[in-house]
């Protein structure tokens, strides 16, 4: 048993739903109680989908349990096939149905439904969402892909994008364009956008582009073994990775690298003088393994940041992320425990977080700016505009996204110059952000829960906060008034850090009253 407050990943059947919902002409019959239908709203609300996910839930109840839940499942299968006329169905159990052991695979298999029935075995009490997407896509490929002749033109399959993916929609477009510039066509994109009949002809491509190892590495390996299709190992997120990816494609296909970089702006934007202020910004990177690895490389090589720490929530990627961390001289945090991630960030005190929506909230609490680089997703991660992560346009998008939460370069100096001007004072935020940006003290935090998707009860409980001391409360150490006044002169966006650093310094030195002297000694001590 493990206490969980927030989770990075849903159960594995939600992974299967992501695959099914990304596809067309496929239906998922899921043996599950009524409450599990909540998962539909992930797709219809967060991703703003205009169709219900193609899932039939059996929604058995307590009174069915003594009786015949197996018949309930078979009826649901037959109804789904009759009503939705899919080309194939996937069948499986959610956590509760796993316990009642009705064997959906056997039941559906015995029914002569007249279409391919793909059983899923997703152990709910051991694995999570990422395993669910990868395993589901593997099973679909194994059951449906047929040996076939290669296309005349050199083509690739783009594999890995799913429903509810972080910018998958736009990455497909960007990659298709990159490949087209090299003269490589796209055979099938899947799971997103494909039908079972498309999966059948995966074998016609010359190779596979593995877009997201989290969701399709098993399928890529299977296709390599069975159809002799090589697959690309570089995920083209960032300028360097995109170049490497193109080189990899060239090696696989024997075609020369041809690409149009006129639309690539990141290299100049990051070199232009306004970006000087980005130098050595200490960033903490957390998310799924693939996006973290890409972000670490961009952070160090393309933005000039210092990677203060990194990690991922998906255990499947623990090994490569540990190796990567070693290369960066930091320790990898492999954890899906939100509190542990928060404690790590609080201890490292980075100047910026590159993380998920969870870290965005941690950042809010700690007063650290955060840019989102990875799933789990939120409605904000599905912007109306074209905003890929991959390829040249992806690099541009990443530059803008990462810089946005920071105070602009020139602005930072102006804030220094006019720090006593009322407009720049204390609560004045970065000028390009609407509201005042107020880094808040973690200990004093008493934030009301705001339920974005669902609304909230604004009045109940707003007064009593759910607060957890993450950093040490500054109880024992006192600030002398002149030191306090001096601290106020430090621009707000670094003030919290200065306060914490000074207190930590005072503590290690056994100083109990902080003077202006202590403040500057601490500053010198922490100076890089």
Partner 1 sequence: MNAPAPALGCTNTPVLKERGQREVFCGLTGIIWLHRKMQDAFFLVVGSRTCAHLLQSAAGVMIFAEPRFGTAILEEKDLAGLADAQTELDREVDRLLSRRPDIRQLFLVGSCPSEVIKLDLHRAAERMSVKHAPHVRVLNYSGSGIETTFTQGEDACLASMVPTLSATAEKELLLVGALPDVVEDQAMGLLAALGITKVRCLPARRSADTLAIGPNTVFALLQPFLGDTHAALTRRGARHIPAPFPFGAEGTTLWLQAIATEFGVDPALFAKVTAAPRARAEKAIAASAQTLSGKSIFFFPDSQLEIPLARFLTRECGMTAVEVGTPFLHRDLLSPDLALLAHGPTISEGQDVDKQLTRARAARADLTVCGLGLANPLEAEGMATKWAIELVFTPVHFYEQAGDLAALFARPLRRRALLAPLAPRIEAAE
* Catalytically annotated residues: 274
Which spans of this chain sit near ligand SF4 (rule: CB under 6 A)? 33, 35-36, 95-96
Q: How far apart are the first and last CA of the chain?
A: 44
Is the preceding peptide bond at 317 cis, omega within 30 degrees of 0? Answer: no
Q: Which residue is nearest to ligand SF4 (CB)?
A: 35
Integer Rg of the chain from CA: 26
Whether 376 contacts 8, CB under 8 Å? yes
Tokens standing for residue 500:
């914490």
If one counts every other C-beta atom within 10 angstroms of the C-beta of residue 103, the result is 17
The nearest distance, CB 165 to partner 1, in angstroms, is 11
Contacts of 445 by beta carbon, 8 Å cutoff, 6+ apart: 365, 465, 467
The nearest distance, CB 435 to partner 1, in angstroms, is 16
What is the secondary structure of 236-273 as a DSSP string?
Answer: -BSHHHHHHHHHHHHHHH-PPP----TT--HHHHHHSG
Name which of 33 and 213 has its Cβ closer to partner 1: 33
Is the preceding peptide bond at 98 cis, omega within 30 degrees of 0? Answer: no
Whether 290 contacts 317, CB under 8 Å? yes
The nearest distance, CB 61 to ligand SF4, in angstroms, is 10
Whether 376 contacts 358, CB under 8 Å? yes
Tokens standing for residue 465:
């906060």
Name which of 77 and 97 has its Cβ closer to ligand SF4: 97
The nearest distance, CB 13 to ligand SF4, in angstroms, is 10
Name which of 95 and 511 has its Cβ closer to ligand SF4: 95
Name which of 100 and 257 has its Cβ closer to ligand SF4: 100
Distance (Å, whole) CA 59 – CA 33: 4
The nearest distance, CB 79 to partner 1, in angstroms, is 8
Name which of 128 and 297 has its Cβ closer to partner 1: 128
Whether 263 contacts 242, CB under 8 Å? no
Distance (Å, whole) CA 183 – CA 186: 10
Q: Choosing among ligand SF4, partner 1, none, which partner's interface includes residue 457 (Cβ < 5 to 8 Å by kind)?
A: partner 1
The nearest distance, CB 319 to partner 1, in angstroms, is 22
Q: Please provide residue 160's backbone torsions phi and psi, each rounded to the nearest 5 degrees.
A: 125, -30
Name which of 123 and 304 has its Cβ closer to ligand SF4: 123
């Amino acid at each position: 048993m493990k206490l969980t407050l927030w989770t990075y990943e849903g159960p594995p059947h939600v992974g299967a739903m992501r695959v099914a919902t990304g596809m067309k002409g496929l239906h998922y019959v899921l043996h599950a109680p009524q409450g599990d239908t909540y998962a539909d709203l992930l797709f219809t609300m967060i991703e703003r989908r205009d169709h219900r996910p193609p899932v039939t839930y059996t929604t058995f109840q307590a009174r069915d349990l003594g009786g015949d839940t197996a018949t309930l499942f078979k009826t649901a299968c037959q109804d789904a096939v009759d009503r939705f006329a899919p080309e194939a169905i996937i069948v499986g159990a959610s956590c509760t149905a796993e316990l009642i052991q009705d064997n959906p695979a056997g039941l559906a298999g015995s029914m002569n439904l007249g279409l391919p029935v793909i059983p899923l075995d997703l152990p709910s009490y051991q694995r999570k969402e990422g395993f669910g997407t990868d395993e589901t896509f593997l099973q679909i490929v194994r059951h449906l892909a047929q040996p076939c002749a290669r296309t005349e033109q050199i083509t690739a399959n783009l594999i890995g994008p799913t429903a509810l993916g972080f910018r998958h929609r736009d990455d497909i477009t960007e990659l298709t364009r990159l490949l087209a510039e090299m003269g490589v066509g796209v055979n099938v994109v899947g799971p997103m956008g494909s039908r079972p009949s498309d999966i059948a002809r995966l074998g016609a491509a010359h190779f596979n582009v593995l877009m997201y190892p989290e969701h399709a590495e098993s399928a890529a390996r299977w296709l390599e073994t069975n159809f002799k299709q090589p697959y690309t190992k570089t995920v083209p997120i960032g300028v360097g990775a995109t170049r490497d990816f193109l080189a990899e494609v060239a090696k696989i296909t024997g075609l020369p690298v041809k690409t149009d970089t006129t639309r690539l702006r990141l290299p100049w934007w990051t070199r232009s003088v306004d970006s000087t202020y980005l130098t050595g910004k200490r960033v903490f990177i957390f998310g799924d393994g693939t996006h973290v690895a890409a972000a670490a490389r961009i952070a160090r090589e393309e933005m000039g940041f210092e990677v203060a720490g990194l990690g991922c929530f998906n255990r499947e990627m623990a090994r490569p992320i540990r190796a990567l961390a070693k290369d960066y001289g930091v320790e990898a945090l492999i954890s899906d425990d939100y509190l542990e991630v928060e404690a790590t960030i609080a201890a490292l005190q980075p100047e910026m977080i590159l993380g998920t929506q969870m870290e965005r909230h941690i950042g809010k609490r700690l007063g650290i700016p955060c840019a989102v680089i990875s799933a789990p997703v939120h409605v904000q991660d599905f912007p109306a505009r074209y905003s890929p992560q991959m390829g040249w346009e992806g690099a541009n998008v990443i530059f803008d996204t990462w810089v946005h939460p920071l105070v602009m370069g020139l602005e930072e100096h102006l804030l220094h110059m006019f720090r006593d001007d009322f407009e720049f004072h204390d609560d004045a935020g970065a000028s390009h952000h609407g509201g005042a940006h107020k880094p808040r003290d973690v200990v004093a935090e008493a934030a009301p829960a705001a339920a974005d998707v669902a609304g909230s009860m604004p009045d109940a409980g707003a007064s009593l906060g759910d607060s957890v001391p993450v950093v040490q409360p500054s109880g024992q150490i006192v600030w002398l008034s002149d030191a306090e006044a001096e601290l106020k002169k430090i621009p707000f966006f670094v003030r919290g850090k200065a306060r914490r650093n000074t207190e930590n310094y005072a503590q290690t030195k056994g100083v109990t009253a902080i003077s202006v002297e202590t403040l500057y000694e601490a500053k010198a001590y922490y100076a890089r």
